[in-house]
Amino acid sequence: MQGAVVGVGVTDEPIALSPITETDLPQLDALVAGPEQLGPFQWFGWRNPGRFRRIWAENGLLSEEQSALAVRAEGEFAGFVSWRRVNAGPNAWYWNIGIQLRMELCGRGIGTEAQRLLVAYLFAHTTAMRLEADTEVTNRAEQRALEKVGFLREGVRRGAVFRDGEWRDNVVYSLLRTDPRP
Ligand SMILES: CC(C)(COP(=O)(O)OP(=O)(O)OC[C@H]1O[C@@H](n2cnc3c(N)ncnc32)[C@H](O)[C@@H]1OP(=O)(O)O)[C@@H](O)C(=O)NCCC(=O)NCCS
């Protein structure tokens, strides 16, 4: 696959990240279509269903502020990874990363490998010093995946996320360019 970053997951499925193409867009829309597809932590109510398509037409979902790449497992669209710029003062910024896989593909090592590839990609192609990820305290799969990639748990932001009628605590993780990686 041209331009892909290739790695191998624990299941021996080749996992790759590459730009989201026009033919991915229906699968991307389906991935975020509703509560069943988004799973227990990512459903925040209905949103503009055409938002990805509109942004893709503008910039291919790759920009200075916010970007996404497709996660491919055995060449199939498995979900996406994303990163957005967080300004940290007048002369500094870092990336906050995210991930969403197709629910039926969760728990097979793809999320860990995809985030490992994203880390390598961002440190290779951007000058970022810090990568950050945050997730709800009850999302053990994402916390464990981040830890396996080398992210360190920084702490808990209390009442930071409003989802499904409740304010929830969020765990913050980071990985510096200079940190050791497993
Ligand atoms: C979170 C997510 C990216 C993790 O990726 P994944 O491919 O499912 O996870 P992996 O198979 O790589 O597993 C990573 C670790 O989590 C553990 N794990 C997996 N699913 C788990 C679950 N439901 N509960 C607890 N631990 C779990 C695995 O056992 C593994 O740890 P181990 O090697 O010590 O056994 C993926 O599940 C996903 O996209 N979920 C929906 C969206 C989401 O929650 N995104 C993050 C929001 S911030």
DSSP output for the chain: -TT-EEEE-TTS-EEEEEPPPGGGHHHHHHHTSSHHHH-SSS--S---TTHHHHHHHHHTT--SSEEEEEEEETTEEEEEEEEEEEE-STT-EEEEEEEEE-GGGTTSSHHHHHHHHHHHHHHHHS--SEEEEEEETT-HHHHHHHHHHT-EEEEEEEEEEEETTEEEEEEEEEEETTS---
Q: Please check whether residue 179 is in contact with residue 150, taking contact to mean a CB–CB distance below 8 angstroms.
A: yes
pLDDT, one tens digit per residue, over 116-146 is 999 999 999 999 999 999 999 999 999 999 9
Annotation: CATH topology of 5-128: Aminopeptidase (3.40.630)
Residue nearest to atom 17 of ligand 1 (CA): 141
Residue nearest to atom 24 of ligand 1 (CA): 141
Residue nearest to atom 5 of ligand 1 (CA): 111
β-pair partners for 85: 95
Give the pTM.
0.95
Q: What pLDDT does 168 receive?
A: 98
- Ligand 1 residue neighbourhood (C-beta within 6 Å): 39, 41-42, 79, 98-101, 106-112, 135, 139-142, 144-145, 148
Domain residue extents for the chain: 5-128
Residue nearest to atom 34 of ligand 1 (CA): 144
Ranges under pLDDT 70 in the chain: 1-13
Q: For residue 5, how far is its CA from the centre of ligand 1 (angstroms)?
A: 21
Q: What pLDDT does 1 receive?
A: 45
Q: What pLDDT does 2 receive?
A: 44
